[in-house]
Amino acid sequence: MPRYTGQIFAEYYSLQLPASLKAETYALGLKLHYPGEERDARLALSSSLLNEQSYYRLGSVQVIDRP
């Protein structure tokens, strides 16, 4: 595992949400998949964050009604 250097790498993404998506709070998760090997990557995060579909829970996102 690489040594922690204190650097922060930020990435930003925009998502197009379906118009039919209800306004409520949703769980936000992350999974990295190796398509050529047909397996998921394991991250250096606590295994207690993994759900039954092997997604790491990162937090939640609140979707609000559009005007």
Q: What's the average pLDDT block by block, 10 residues per block, for the chain (67 residues)?
A: 77 84 92 85 87 90 80
pLDDT at 15: 80
Distance, CA of 53 to CA of 19 (rounded, Å)? 26
In a 13 Å sphere around the CA of 17, the CA atoms on its Cβ side amount to: 13
pTM: 0.59
